[in-house]
């Protein structure tokens, strides 16, 4: 009798494991991804920042024209950067490089990226004027974290103890 119970329990265990495995496979391969906002996770970095600051509905509505204006300007800037990148690719595919032309294209690309960064910060400044004081404090913390650390820095990593 106990052999029969062991076999039944083993069968149920195998069945449960099969369902769990099927759930993982379905979730990772077949389940459709959650809907995303246009342009990425939150549309643009400013909307992501607004999400991090926990803007209320009234603030979101008030800031939406600023977000839309920023999105359009950002898209135009990325389009300009793509044009310069295409010119650079064409120049680099030539048998002999024209370094004066490449230098000029690199300068154009960097100027466009600098303008994009400046525009980003100017828009954040406009957004900050419409925040509550506690949100403004949080904004400054977030900006210090994002702009004050070198690329690739992970704030989750605990500091190493000195020896």
- Would you state the pLDDT for residue 28? 66
Domain assignment of residue 18, given as a range: 1-31
Assign residue 107 the CATH number of its domain: 1.20.120.1490
* Residue 39 counted as domain residue: no
| Helices 133-147, 99-128: inter-axial angle, 10-degree rounding | 160
Q: Are residues 64 and 138 in the same domain?
A: yes
In a domain, 52, yes or no: yes
The answer to whether residue 95 sits within a structural domain is yes
d(CA 81, CA 113): 8
Tell me the per-residue pLDDT of 146-162, one tens digit each, with 9 for 90 and over: 777 766 655 555 555 55
Q: For the whole model, what pTM was predicted?
A: 0.60
52 and 27 both lie in a single domain: no
Statement to judge: residues 19 and 53 lie in one domain: no
């Amino acid at each position: 009798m106990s052999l029969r119970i062991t076999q039944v329990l083993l069968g149920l265990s195998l069945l449960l494991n099969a369902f769990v495995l099927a759930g993982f496979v379905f979730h990772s391969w077949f389940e459709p991804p959650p809907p995303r906002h246009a342009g990425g996770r939150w549309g643009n970095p400013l909307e992501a920042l607004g999400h991090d600051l926990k803007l209320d509905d009234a603030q979101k509505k008030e800031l939406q024209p600023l977000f839309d204006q920023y999105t359009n300007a950002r898209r135009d800037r990325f389009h300009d950067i793509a044009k310069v990148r295409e010119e650079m690719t064409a120049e680099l595919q030539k048998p002999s490089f024209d370094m004066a032309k490449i230098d000029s294209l690199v300068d154009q690309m960097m100027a466009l990226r600098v303008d994009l960064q400046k525009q980003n910060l100017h828009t954040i400044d406009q957004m900050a004027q419409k925040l509550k004081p506690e949100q403004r404090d949080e904004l400054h913390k977030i900006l210090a974290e994002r702009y004050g650390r070198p690329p690739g820095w992970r704030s989750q990593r605990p500091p190493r103890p000195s020896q």
